[in-house]
């Protein structure tokens, strides 16, 4: 069980008296002291079961509580959290929706409902839930970060940006918050800010292929060629990546390192023989070698023609490549 959920269950046992007091106000004198104490004990028992990973037993107790008290927001929250832990978001969402309605001032209920909605790709509703959570706790890193992420999934980077900024301000060590900030800046087409955020993320979390791919894309936009090459090499540690090899070939060519460029492009088509961009890179490199040899390097000439034809077979809609082939009679 993740630490956040474990802490939530432990805190539930400590704060149950205050919560029951709120229920008492809502229900008036209809519930006896014995019933209140019984529910408290059952919630503690269910929380312990859930903390220990005994999910079926915990669910059974939570449902038993609801038979006695159908308005127990804590029982619905407990059910939803168990299903969240099991990644069963379809079952988690209705329980958490009920908890959020019964306990409108509960941060846990609002945030967990937002999380379930986000995992179900119901991003607009998730945004609304996270806003409710932030109304209760504006200093929540997770709610600010997740709200930014949900806005990004809605393709609204301008709305995501302030919440991503807030998340990294609240916790500068949170790598995933920096990723969201980078994605927001990228959506705003501010490549420099995006690259800086992705670099910050890579310094604060275990780099992933996706994160390094994002960084590579920004470095290419900024024409930071040397960094493109080094980042592409890092990406290969996760396994052969044709896109990264192609970008490395592109950057090396612009650095005047033609042998390195050609090697990178060849590595790209070994991984993905249909990558027409890399075939073009091979063609340009070999055509360049042919021209630099005063048109004496016939091997380079032949390989350039073969590469461009491979590119056109993969993607025939390339007027510039067709003109190049015709111009040099490749």
Q: CA–CA distance from 144 to each of 119, 150, 194, 294 (Å)?
A: 16, 10, 18, 61
Alpha carbon 4 to its chain's center:
19
**Structure tokens that stand for 223 in this block:** 């024409």
Q: How many CB atoms lie within 10 A of CB 203?
A: 11
Helices (H), strands (E): how many in the chain? 18, 0
Yes or no: say if 188 and 156 are a contact pair by the CB < 8 Å rule. Answer: no
Q: Where are the beta strands (DSSP E) in 45-201?
A: none
How far is the CA of 65 from the CAs of 22, 40, 79, 317, in angstroms? 17, 10, 11, 66
Helix (H, G, I), strand (E, B) or coil at 72: coil
Reported pTM: 0.83
Nearest to 248 by CA among 288, 258, 238: 258
| Domains in the chain with CATH codes | 1-137 (1.25.40.10)
Cα–Cα–Cα angle for 296, 301, 303, nearest 5°? 140
Neighbours of 33 (CB within 10 A): 8
Q: What is the Cα–Cα distance from 90 to 39, expressed in whole angstroms?
A: 27
Please check whether residue 308 is in contact with residue 325, taking contact to mean a CB–CB distance below 8 angstroms: yes
Secondary-structure breakdown of the chain: helix, strand, coil percentages, each rounded to the nearest 5: 80, 0, 20
The C-alpha atoms of residue 184 and residue 62 are separated, in whole angstroms, by 40
Residue 65 half-sphere exposure, CB side, CA atoms within 13 Å? 28
How far apart CA 87 and CA 116 sit, in angstroms, is 9
Give the C-alpha separation, 9 to 78, whole Å.
8
In angstroms, rounded to a whole number, what is the distance separating the alpha carbons of residues 72 and 68? 9
- State how far the Cα of 215 lies from the Cα of 207, in Å rounded to an integer: 11
Q: 166: closest CA among 146, 188, 144? A: 144
Task: Give the single-character DSSP code of 205.
Answer: S
Per-residue pLDDT of the chain (330 residues; tens, 9 = 90+): 455 454 454 444 444 333 334 444 444 445 677 777 788 788 888 888 888 888 899 999 989 999 989 999 999 999 999 999 999 999 999 999 999 999 999 999 999 999 999 999 999 999 999 999 999 999 999 999 999 999 999 999 999 999 999 999 999 999 999 999 999 999 999 999 999 999 999 999 999 999 999 999 999 999 999 999 999 999 999 999 999 999 999 999 999 999 999 999 999 999 999 999 999 999 999 999 999 999 999 999 999 999 999 999 999 999 999 999 999 999
- The encoded tokens of residue 134 equal 């932030």
Q: Name the token pair of 137.
A: 């706790």
Sign of CA dihedral 50, 52, 54, 57: negative
Cα separation, 125 vs 138, in Å, equals 19
Residue 14 pLDDT: 40
Whole-angstrom CA distances from 57 to 7, 82, 85, 169, 307 are: 19, 11, 14, 41, 64
**Tokens 């993320």 belong to which residue?**
201
């Amino acid at each position: 069980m993740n630490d956040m959920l474990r802490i939530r269950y432990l805190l539930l046992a400590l704060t149950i008296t205050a919560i029951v007091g709120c229920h008492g106000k809502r229900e008036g004198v209809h519930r006896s002291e014995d019933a209140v104490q019984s529910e408290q004990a059952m919630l503690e028992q269910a929380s312990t079961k859930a903390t220990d990973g005994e999910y079926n037993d915990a669910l059974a107790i939570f449902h038993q509580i609801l038979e006695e008290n159908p308005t127990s927001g804590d029982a619905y929250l407990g059910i939803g959290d168990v299903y969240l832990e099991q990644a069963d978001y379809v079952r988690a969402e209705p329980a958490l929706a009920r908890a959020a309605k019964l306990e409108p001032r509960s941060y846990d209920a609002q945030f967990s409902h937002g999380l379930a909605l986000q995992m179900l790709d119901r991003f607009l509703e998730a945004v609304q839930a996270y806003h409710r959570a932030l109304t209760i706790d504006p200093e929540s890193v997770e709610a600010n970060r997740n709200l930014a992420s949900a806005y990004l999934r809605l393709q609204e980077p301008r709305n995501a940006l302030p919440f991503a900024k807030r998340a990294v301000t609240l916790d500068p060590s949170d790598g995933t918050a920096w990723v969201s900030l980078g994605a927001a800046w990228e959506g705003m087409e501010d490549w420099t800010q995006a690259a800086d955020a992705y670099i910050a993320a890579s310094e604060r979390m275990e780099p992933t292929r996706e994160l390094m791919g994002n960084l590579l894309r920004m470095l290419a936009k900024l024409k930071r060629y040397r960094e493109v090459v080094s980042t592409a090499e890092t990406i290969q540690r996760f396994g052969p990546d044709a896109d990264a090899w192609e970008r490395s070939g592109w950057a090396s060519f612009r650095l005047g390192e033609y042998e390195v460029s050609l090697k990178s492009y060849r590595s790209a088509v070994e991984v993905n023989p249909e990558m027409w961009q890399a075939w073009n890179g091979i063609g340009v490199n070999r055509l360049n070698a042919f021209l630099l040899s005063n048109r004496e390097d016939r091997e380079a000439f032949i390989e350039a023609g073969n590469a461009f034809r491979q590119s056109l077979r993969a993607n025939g809609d390339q007027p510039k490549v067709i003109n190049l082939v015709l111009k040099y009679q490749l």
